[in-house]
């Protein structure tokens, strides 16, 4: 393998243990302001030092990540459809190689939609991206996207992962499933598992543990970290499995300990201003605007993004 390519892959999959912890924050590229990722800068800042690499779009990289970071960037270069459009599978390559190099990307990421209407277009785009990226030693991560009509079982995911690897993807991101070992065994390149919809923290840690045990090199997790009530505690707990070989009980214990530590700290650092020093302005002087005047925008106005996304 060429030095540049090998070096970039080694910055994503750590060579000392062949493991990877990627933080995914690219959801806005088709979901818009995803719940709890409305302000990517605020979300990313406290988590950045705990992940091995960050998966994101160029827009979020430019606006919401400090250029002084040493964390490698896995740049999503595909897009073109949104959650409210006709067909999510209609994606093209939207970022040039020159732009990716300017942004100092360590890898390029794009989705393929195997079995969808736009299967041909997305698979050919993967092949072409690998051709272009190869000129500069840039690795390509293929995301095996799933949709309403696409499967999520070992048979389907094995097919999708293998197709991605055959086109030259250096890393494949897919979903955990029953008989996941079969997916890994039939894919000649490293597999990283996506977190998927938010589930209880212990379940997300179990998923991480199962994925590693099943042969994945790591996880590329988004919602189950930043939609957690305690994102830093959660990423540290996930990290303890990926890099520390913790089991699920140990990782969950760590999550709870770090979460309760945070609560204690908050309690001891802040005096309760409402009770002691100030009159409760909300109760006495102002109407509760949230309750009476404004609709709860998250609940009422937006499509349920979690349901329609993966």
Q: Considering only CA atoms, which of 136, 67, 145 is closest in space to residue 109? A: 145
Query: Which residues have C-beta within 8 Å of that of residue 44, sequence separation ≥ 6?
Result: 23, 25, 54, 60, 64, 65
Cβ-based nearer residue to ligand R5P, 111 or 116: 111
Q: Binding to ligand R5P by residue 201, rule CB under 6 A? A: no
Q: Binding to ligand R5P by residue 231, rule CB under 6 A? A: no
Provide the minimum distance between the beta carbon of 117 and ligand R5P in the complex, in angstroms, as a whole number.
Answer: 17
Question: Which of the stretches 23-31, 126-134, 176-184, 233-241 binds ligand R5P when contact is defined by CB under 6 A?
Answer: 23-31
- Contact letters for ligand R5P, residues 55-84 (x by CB under 6 A): x-----------------------------
Provide the minimum distance between the beta carbon of 144 and ligand R5P in the complex, in angstroms, as a whole number.
Answer: 9
Residue 154 is given by DSSP the state: H
Provide the minimum distance between the beta carbon of 83 and ligand R5P in the complex, in angstroms, as a whole number.
Answer: 11
- Active-site pick, 173, 182, 213, 278: 173
CB 27 within 8 A of CB 309: yes
Alpha-carbon span 211 to 283, nearest angstrom: 50
Active site residue 291: no
Residues 143, 165, 211, 233: which binds ligand R5P (CB under 6 A)?
143
Residues 28, 40, 139, 195: which binds ligand R5P (CB under 6 A)?
195
Tell me which residue has tokens 């393998």: 1
For the beta carbon of residue 104, count every other beta carbon within 10 angstroms: 11
Query: Which residues have C-beta within 8 Å of that of residue 139, sequence separation ≥ 6?
Result: 5, 8, 9, 12, 106, 107, 108, 133, 170, 171
For the beta carbon of residue 282, count every other beta carbon within 10 angstroms: 12
Q: How far is CA 134 from CA 101, 128, 169, in A?
A: 12, 10, 11
Total site size for ligand R5P, rule CB under 6 A: 16
Residues 13, 57, 220, 305: which binds ligand R5P (CB under 6 A)?
220
Cβ-based nearer residue to ligand R5P, 11 or 224: 224
250 CB burial (10 A radius; 0-12, 13-18, 19+): middle
Bridge partners of 142?
A: 110, 172
Cβ-based nearer residue to ligand R5P, 7 or 103: 103
Residues 40, 139, 190, 196: which binds ligand R5P (CB under 6 A)?
196
Cβ-based nearer residue to ligand R5P, 7 or 79: 79
Q: Binding to ligand R5P by residue 28, rule CB under 6 A? A: no
Of 83-142, binders to ligand R5P (CB under 6 A) are 111
Q: Binding to ligand R5P by residue 21, rule CB under 6 A? A: no
291: helix, coil or strand?
A: helix
Contact residues: ligand R5P, CB under 6 A: 24, 26-27, 55, 111, 143, 145, 194-196, 220-224, 310
Active site residues per annotation? 173
């Amino acid at each position: 393998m060429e030095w540049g390519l090998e070096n970039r892959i080694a910055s994503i999959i750590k060579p000392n243990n062949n493991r990877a912890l990627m933080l995914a924050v690219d959801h806005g590229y088709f979901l818009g302001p995803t719940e709890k990722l409305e302000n990517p800068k605020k979300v990313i800042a406290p988590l950045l030092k705990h992940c091995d690499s960050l998966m994101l779009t160029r827009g979020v990289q430019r606006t919401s990540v400090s250029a002084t970071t040493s964390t490698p960037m896995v740049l999503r270069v595909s897009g073109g459809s949104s959650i409210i459009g006709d067909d999510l599978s209609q994606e093209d390559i939207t970022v040039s190689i020159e732009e990716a190099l300017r942004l100092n990307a360590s890898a390029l990421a794009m989705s393929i939609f195997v079995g969808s209407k736009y299967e041909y277009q997305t698979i050919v785009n993967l092949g072409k991206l690998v051709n272009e990226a190869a000129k500069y030693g840039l690795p390509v991560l293929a995301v095996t996207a799933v949709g309403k009509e696409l499967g999520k079982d070992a048979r389907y995911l094995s097919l999708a992962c293998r197709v991605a690897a055959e086109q030259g993807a250096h890393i494949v991101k897919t979903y955990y499933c029953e008989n996941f070992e079969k997916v890994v065994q039939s894919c000649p390149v490293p597999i990283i598992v996506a977190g998927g919809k938010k589930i209880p923290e212990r379940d997300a840690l179990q998923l991480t543990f199962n994925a590693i045990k099943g042969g994945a090199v790591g996880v590329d997790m988004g919602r189950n970290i930043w939609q957690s009530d305690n994102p830093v505690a959660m990423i540290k707990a996930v990290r303890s499995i990926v890099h520390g070989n913790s089991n699920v009980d140990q990782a969950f214990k760590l999550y709870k300990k770090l979460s309760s530590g945070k609560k204690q700290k908050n309690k001891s650092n802040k005096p309760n201003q409402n009770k002691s020093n100030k009159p409760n302005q909300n109760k006495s002087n102002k109407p509760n605007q949230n309750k009476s005047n404004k609709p709860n925008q998250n609940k009422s106005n937006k499509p349920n993004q979690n349901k329609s996304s993966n």
